[in-house]
A and B are shown apart, each in its own frame.
Chain A
């Protein structure tokens, strides 16, 4: 095996010292600025955990209650901070339990470095205790992975891991280290990786393409911007805002792009996609130029591709060349980091306001308000809606909270109705749709941003998939706010059963435990509300409490999320009821 590195001279870190592979792992993490990591010990990773104990004043290991929880916590940490999330687990089941989180990070472009212990290199392939081919298993869901069998390879492989995880389009990396490599002594020195010859993470922006894009944008009569997480990952929020404001173009977001531009911004016209807002979905099929920025035309965004924006010229700003023309053909593709591309674009853009075109969005918003939003946020029926809970969280947090949502109806409601004043505030499992994501992800988010309000909004189904992480909340004393919107159903599946399977509610009704008692079992303050008049006070109590807090809200059992683009339909055939 050969490794190729372009090495940066850094005198601070170039200290040759005799040490074990396991100590070297910690030294590498420290050199990469890692202060917190998430994991679970076990036989094959014990030497590294022994060193974590030695270095506990410099690096904080958070013991999850299941390795999957560790991955989601690291994802939450990464998503709110922009830093690489770090996960550690043992071989065999410890390693395989990481897979869901890794797959989630891969599809949502989240930088993770996962370190797994492996059986002694001499035992590889012998079906040893807790041996599993985690490099083989994780290959399709990692940006890169590698097995280390010699201590002397640890520094360069970990340096490469951090570089790959964070650079270009971020993603998860897994490094598997055999136990003998952890014990082996060698002369340690560390140099950060600054380049790999076979890997070009950031394409150079082509000025000509930028000019072509600008010409199209400047001549557009009915332009629409759809932005995604690329704006957040490249930290392009302010230049993006400048582009939006200068051109006056109505701008809509994908679920992972949410919060890059504040919800209240007059040019923010809402979410696109299956449960997105009415106006941007319908007008996707009326715009003359569609400007996609750092997004990948996921099928939940586009609906039926045969009827998606066919009338429009498409401009695609994108860092990953494999995304160009993957789902939607681009008339102009601008490859590059969003921040770099938009910075080059701005001077070419003409000031406009597109007021007539804007009016179309306002008119359609009014329709959506009357048919859907009004009933979600100001219900007149007896049962509580998920929307009014979000409205209350907005009020009590002044729209400054980071909302960590799980997957399902509550997620769509959270994304639709949460006020996002601050970027990196919508942390959710978008691409993979991983139920059980929110509770552990919120732990990581709160630890990375202790000064921010972090509210986990979870359904009663997903909550029970990783509910054991309440133990982590308790042990680490994380002042996290947990809201479970309990409709006693797997609500989104039930909604589909109602609409498309003649109300045959196969295995979607849930007989739930006493969630408040469970939270209290972990010594977490908790209460349940089912009445509207109690809601405001309960949310206030939660938001103003010092420690962790659990709030269960019993909501209407059979509410549906609308608008909705039915599977296989065009985005402009979005249903309001």
Chain B
């Protein structure tokens, strides 16, 4: 049996209602869990770019790309291995402000983690950390002991190291 690996899927689509349902249904039908999903603008106006992270075999991955590309409003879909992309995710921590002043350790953690303080007020401060999953997880573990009021984490976003062949195709669309 081929082993499960992490793949990052990039999908370029029209920006239409219902497409999220249509794409997630392709994974649901095959009983595959989506680890993270992100939809955003792309380098081309009015074209959405989706970034989906899944764990499965390459054989299944290929077949799913075929099913995704088959959808009428999907322009192109690709999958990437971990070493083919530059990827990041982002996390916000909301923490009691008093800790910032009382716990010296927190200041060190923030410094070392390259996290940014987004805002500080009397009650709380918000820390933003972008990076790879492991870095965010490390920061999370370190902050957890002090107590976190709120935590939210984004899905992965990624760009490829190599040129995306789609770019030229999309340029033709916008002309």
Interface residues of A (CB under 8 A from B): 1-2, 4, 135-136, 139-140, 143-147, 164, 196-199, 320-326
Contacts of A197 in B (CB 8 A): 75, 173
Q: A321-B69, A322-B63, A326-B63 are in contact. Are A198 and B14 (CB under 8 A)?
A: yes
Query: For residue A326, which residue of chain B has the nearest CB?
Result: B63
A-B pairs, top 9 by smallest CB distance, nearest first, are A322-B66, A140-B25, A198-B75, A144-B72, A199-B72, A322-B70, A139-B21, A139-B22, A198-B73
Contacts of A196 in B (CB 8 A): 72
Could you tell me if A139 and B18 are in contact, using CB atoms closer than 8 angstroms?
Answer: yes
Could you tell me if B69 and A2 are in contact, using CB atoms closer than 8 angstroms?
Answer: no
Q: A322-B63, A326-B66 are in contact. Are A145 and B14 (CB under 8 A)?
A: no
Could you tell me if B25 and A139 are in contact, using CB atoms closer than 8 angstroms?
Answer: yes
Contacts of A147 in B (CB 8 A): 17-18
Could you tell me if A322 and B67 are in contact, using CB atoms closer than 8 angstroms?
Answer: yes
Not counting A140-B25, A147-B18, A321-B69, a sample of 20 additional A-B residue pairs whose C-beta atoms are within 8 angstroms of each other reads: A2-B14, A2-B46, A4-B14, A136-B21, A139-B18, A139-B22, A140-B28, A146-B18, A147-B17, A164-B72, A196-B72, A197-B173, A320-B70, A321-B66, A321-B70, A322-B66, A322-B69, A322-B70, A324-B66, A325-B62
In the complex, what distance in Å separates the CA atom of A345 from the CA atom of B18? 41
- The range of chain B's interface size is 20 to 34
Contacts of A164 in B (CB 8 A): 72
In the complex, what distance in Å separates the CA atom of A325 from the CA atom of B67? 12
Query: For residue A167, which residue of chain B has the nearest CB?
Result: B72
- Residues B1-53 near A (CB distance < 8 A): 13-18, 21-22, 25, 28-29, 46
Separation in Å of the A194 CB from the closest CB of chain B?
Answer: 15
Query: For residue A164, which residue of chain B has the nearest CB?
Result: B72
Query: For residue A143, which residue of chain B has the nearest CB?
Result: B72
Query: For residue B14, which residue of chain A has the nearest CB?
Result: A198
Q: A322-B63, A322-B67 are in contact. Are A140 and B29 (CB under 8 A)?
A: yes
Contacts of A143 in B (CB 8 A): 72
Residue picked from A4, A143, A322, most chain B C-beta under 10 Å? A322
Contacts of A139 in B (CB 8 A): 18, 21-22, 25
Query: For residue A163, which residue of chain B has the nearest CB?
Result: B72
B100 interface hit (Cβ, 8 Å): no
B74 interface hit (Cβ, 8 Å): yes
Residue picked from A139, A143, A146, A324, most chain B C-beta under 10 Å? A139
In the complex, what distance in Å separates the CA atom of A2 from the CA atom of B67? 23
Q: List 30 A-B contacts (CB under 8 A).
A: A1-B16, A1-B17, A2-B14, A2-B15, A2-B16, A4-B14, A136-B21, A139-B18, A139-B21, A139-B22, A140-B22, A140-B28, A144-B72, A144-B73, A146-B18, A147-B17, A197-B75, A197-B173, A198-B13, A198-B72, A199-B72, A199-B73, A322-B67, A322-B69, A323-B66, A324-B66, A325-B62, A325-B63, A326-B63, A326-B66
